[in-house]
Chains A and B, each alone.
Chain A
Amino acid sequence: MKQHTLSKTAERIYWLGRYLERAESTARLINVNGNLLIDLPRRIPLAWTSLIDIMGTRAHFNQLYDTPDERNVVRYLTVDQNNGGSLLVSLSMARENARTIREIMPRVAFEYINDLYLYAKDRATGTLSRSRTSELMDGVMRRVQHIAGFLSGTMVHGDTWSFLRIGEFLERADMTTRIIDVRSVDMLEQTDGLEPYSQLQWRSVLRSLHALQAYQLAVQEPIQQPLVQQFLFKNENLPRSLAYCTSRIRSSLRSLPRNQKPLTAINRVIRFLESVEVSTLKGAQLHAFIDDCQLRLAQLDREIDRTYFHARLRVAQEQTQTQSQSPSQSPS
C-alpha cells in the first residue's frame, strides 16, 4: 500500500521551506547592511529604508514608525509582531507549520526548529546594539543552515521533500530578484560621481546573497554591474542565482504527480530568463525585467497552490469551512 501525501502536509512543508529561507535571508540582509554602513562615507545616508523596500512593505512601515532609522528598521524586520515578514514571525510560522508535520520529518527536526524560534525570541527583545544584532543574525543563519542540512541528510527524498525544496527555492528566487531590484535603484540615486562606492555597493549585493567569494572564484574579474547581474541571474552553479533556483524547482516538480501546469509555469520563468540579455540591463529596463520575473514566479506559486494544496472536489462542490484555519499562509 502506497502512502498518499495529504494536500495539507504538502502545503505545510512547502511553507516551512519558505519561512526558513525567508528567516535566513532576512538575517543576512540585516547583517550585510550593517557592514556596508561602516564602509560608506557619512554624506551618503545609506538608507535603512532600502531594507524595507526589499521586503516591499514601506507603506506599512510608515504607518507604524516615525523615522526610518536603524533602530526602527531593525526592530521592524526582526521582532515586530505586526510585520508579517519579520524574522520572529517567520520563525514562528516555520515552527507552527513544522509542528503539524512532525510525523513526516525525523522526529528531532521539530525540536531543532522549535529551539531556533526560542533562541531568537529569547534574544530579540527591546533594542539591540549593532554587535548584539549581528551576533543574533549570525546565530539564526547558522541554525537555519543546520536544520536545512539535517533535513537534507535524514529525510526521505520523496514527495514531501520535493515540496520543502520548492518552497525554499521559490522564496530564494524571489529574494534574489528583490535584492537586485532595490539595490540597483540605490546605486542610481546615490553613486553619481562616486565610482569607488558603486563597486562597494555591488559588493554588498553579492554579500547579501552570500555570493562574494563565489563571484571572485567563478568570474575572476573586478566587481562591476554587468558581470554581477549576469552572475546573479544566470550562473547555473550559484545556489542563490535565479537560474539555479528555477532549475531546482523544475527538477523537484518533475518528480511530483500531476505536475503539468506547475511545470508549464516554471518553464515560462526559465525560458523568459534565458531570452533576456541581463548584463546590460539598467534602470527602468532592469526594474521591468525583474517585475516580469516576479510576476511569473507568483504565477508558479498560484499554480502549485491550486494543483496540490486545494484539490477541488470534482464529484461534488461541497466546501469544508475550515480551510482558512491552516497556519501555512503568510499573514502579510
Chain B
Amino acid sequence: MPIDWSEYQATGIWDELVTDRGRPRAGATNLCRMLSRLSDDELAARKTAAEVAIRTMGITFTVYTGEGSGSIDREWPFDIIPRMVVKSEWDVIAKGLRQRVNALNRFIDDVYHEQRILDDNVVPRELIVKSKDFRPECMGVSPAHGVWSHVCGTDLVRDADGTVYVLEDNLRVPSGVSYMLENREVMKRVFPELFEDYRILPIDDYADQLLRTLRSLSPRKVKSPEVVVLTPGIYNSAYFEHAYLAQAMACELVEGPDLVVGKDDCVYMRTIEGLIRVDVIYRRIDDLFLDPKLFRADSMIGVPGLMRAWRAGNVALANAPGCGVADDKVIYTYVPEIIRYYTGEDPILPNVPSYRCVDKDSRDYVIEHIDKMVVKPANESGGYGMLIGPKSTKAEREKFVRQILANPRNYMAQPMLILSSAPTLVNNRAEPRHLDLRPFILSGAATYVTTGGLTRVAMRKGSTVVNSSQGGGSKDTWIVDVE
C-alpha cells in the first residue's frame, strides 16, 4: 500500500514534514504528494536504487570490529525521504551560527592572549586552567585572522514545541560533511524529478569554500599556497571523508611520515620532485597526536616539530591546536554569556537549558531530578560517559551522583529533550524517526555556513542515538525557498 499521510503518527513529537494532523508542513506538500503516489514496488525500487548508488559511488564509513580483525568498511546508511527546512527559517539559523562561531573564536583567541574574559569573571578562570583541553603551549600564538576553529560542526536539535537549540559545538575536528555532499548526489540520482518541483538551494560549493578558507590562512602570500589534508590513515573511521575532501580540493592527502619539519622551522612534504614546502595543513588528527616532540611521544601519526613550525608562524594548522578549550560541555553552558561579552548582542540561537553541577543550587537540583536529566561529562564526545536519566537504572544513577559530588566541575546536566522526527522508510512504510542536524561553519578571511548540513537519523524506533557507528542513518537536507 502506498504511503497514507493521514495514518502517519508522530504524536507528541515535532515532525519536520508532517503536522500532528497528518498534513504536510509548509513547503512539503509536493514531496508528500509525490511519495504517496508511489506504489510499494516503486518505493522499494527507489530505495534499492539509492543502495546501489551508494555502493557504486563507494560511500563508506569504517567500523571497528575489535582486536585483530581491525576494521571494515560499511556502506553509508541513507534514508531516501529528505528532511526539509524552509529558507526563511534557515536564514535565521545561519545568522545565529555565524554569531556563535565568531564569538567562540574570539573567546579562544582571548584565552590564549590577554584572558580578559577570565579577568572580568564572566567565565571562571579555574574552569579554563583546569580544562584538559587548555594548552599552555598555545599561549601567545596568533593564527591568521584571529581564527582558531576554522571548521566547526554545530549540532542542532528541535524540541517538541518547535524550538531549535544548539546541542553542542564541535570545534576540533568535526566530520560528516562528505556525507552531506554525497547524500545530495545520491538523492539527485534517485529522485531527479523532485529537483524540478522545488527550489532546493545547492550545497556543492563546499569544497571550493573550504579551499578558499584554508588558503586564506597561508603564512606565505603566494598565489596558490600549498594546502594538504593530514589524515591518521586508512584505518581511521573518517578516512573516507579525508580522501573525499582532498580529492575535491585537489590537495595532497598526507600522513605524518609524508611531512617533515626543517631546521628552518618550515614544513615540507616528501614528493617525487623532492621536498615541497607546505603552507596550510587541514589536519584531521587530534591535538595530542600532532607532534610527538611536544605531546604524545608515542604518536606515530604526527610530525615531529610541527608545533614549533606552527608557533613560528611558518605553517597554518586548521583547526588550530588548543581550540578544544571552548568545546567542552561545561564551557558550553557559558556560550550565551560569551556571545554577549564579545558581540554585545543577545544569542540568536538558544542553548539547551543547562545546569552546571559546580554551582551548588544547580547541583542539588540535578541530583534531585536525575531520573529526568541527561548528565554529560565536560570533555567526552560521541555520546560517551553520559547518563540518560529516563533510561537509566537505579545503580547507574547512584554512580553518577557519586561522580558528580566527587568532581562537580566535570559535569553539566540538561532536561531530556524530545528530538523532532521526520518520516523515514522502514520496511517500505513511512514512520517517524528522531533526528538532528549538523551544519558546518567555515571561518577564515570570511565566514561561510553550509546550506543545511548533515541530517542524522536514529533508525530504531524511539531511539535518539544518531551516530552511524551505533545504527544511525542519514538523510539529504533540503533548504527550500517557498516564497
Contact = CB atoms under 8 A, between A and B. Distances in A.
Given A316-B262, A320-B304, A322-B300, A103 B271 contact: no
A190 B301 CA distance: 56
A313 B262 contact: yes
A7 B258 contact: yes
A5 interface: yes
B272 A10 contact: yes
Interface stretch (B137-145, B244-252, B353-361, B387-395): B244-252
Nearest to B249: A1
B250 A1 contact: yes
Contacts of A322: 256-257, 300
B268 A320 contact: no
Nearest to B255: A8
Contacts, number: 92
A6 B224 contact: no
Contacts of B243: 102-103
A10 to B, nearest CB: 5
A321 B260 CA distance: 11
Contact of B272 (A5, A99, A108, A313): A5
Chain A CB within 10 A, most for which of B58, B252, B257: B257
B266 interface: yes
Nearest to B262: A315
A7 B264 contact: no
Given A102-B243, A103-B247, A7 B304 contact: no
Contacts of A4: 252, 269, 271-273, 276
Interface in B36-73: 58
B274 interface: yes
A326 B256 CA distance: 12
B253 A103 contact: yes
A102 to B, nearest CB: 7
A154 interface: no
B303 interface: yes
B275 interface: yes
B377 interface: no
A99 B266 contact: no
B305 interface: yes
Nearest to B301: A322
A107 B73 CA distance: 14
Contacts of B246: 103
30 contacts: A1-B224, A3-B251, A3-B252, A4-B252, A4-B269, A4-B271, A4-B272, A5-B272, A6-B252, A6-B270, A6-B272, A7-B272, A8-B258, A10-B272, A102-B243, A107-B58, A159-B272, A256-B272, A258-B272, A311-B271, A313-B260, A313-B262, A314-B275, A315-B266, A316-B263, A318-B261, A318-B305, A320-B257, A320-B260, A321-B304
Contacts of A315: 262-264, 266, 268, 275
B254 A6 contact: yes
Contacts of B247: 103
A325 B300 contact: yes
B234 interface: yes
Chain A interface main SS type: loop
Contacts of A159: 272
B244 to A, nearest CB: 9
A320 B250 CA distance: 26
B169 to A, nearest CB: 30
B477 to A, nearest CB: 25
Given A5-B273, A10-B272, 9 more contacts: A4-B273, A5-B271, A5-B272, A100-B233, A103-B243, A313-B275, A315-B264, A316-B263, A325-B300
A213 interface: no
A19 interface: no
**Which of the four size classes fits the interface of chain B?**
35 or more
Contacts of B270: 6-8, 310-311
A257 interface: yes
A100 B252 contact: no
A244 interface: no
A3 B251 CA distance: 6
Interface of A: 1, 3-8, 10, 99-100, 102-103, 107-108, 159, 163, 256-258, 307-308, 310-311, 313-316, 318, 320-323, 325-326
A7 B271 contact: yes
A3 B247 CA distance: 10
Which of A163, A257, A311, A323 counts the most chain B CB atoms within 10 A? A311
Nearest to A5: B272
A3 B250 CA distance: 7
A316 B305 CA distance: 12
Given A315-B262, A315-B263, A320 B256 contact: yes
A318 B260 contact: yes
B250 to A, nearest CB: 6
Most buried by B among A6, A108, A256: A6
A143 B253 CA distance: 29
Contacts of A103: 243, 246-247, 253
B331 to A, nearest CB: 35
Contacts of B234: 99-100
Nearest to B260: A313
B289 to A, nearest CB: 12
Contacts of A314: 275
Contacts of A310: 270
Nearest to B273: A257
Contacts of A7: 258, 270-272
A6 B300 contact: no
Contacts of B274: 258, 311
Nearest to B278: A4
B268 A313 contact: yes
B233 to A, nearest CB: 8
B271 A6 contact: yes
**What 9 pairs between A and B have smallest CB-CB spacing?**
A316-B263, A315-B262, A7-B270, A4-B271, A316-B262, A311-B270, A322-B257, A1-B224, A308-B272
Nearest to B57: A107
Contacts of B305: 318
Contacts of A311: 270-272, 274-275
B295 to A, nearest CB: 15
Contacts of A10: 272
A10 B256 CA distance: 16
Contacts of A163: 272
Interface string B131-171: 00000000000000000000000000000000000000000
A325 B257 contact: yes
A310 B272 CA distance: 9
A262 to B, nearest CB: 11
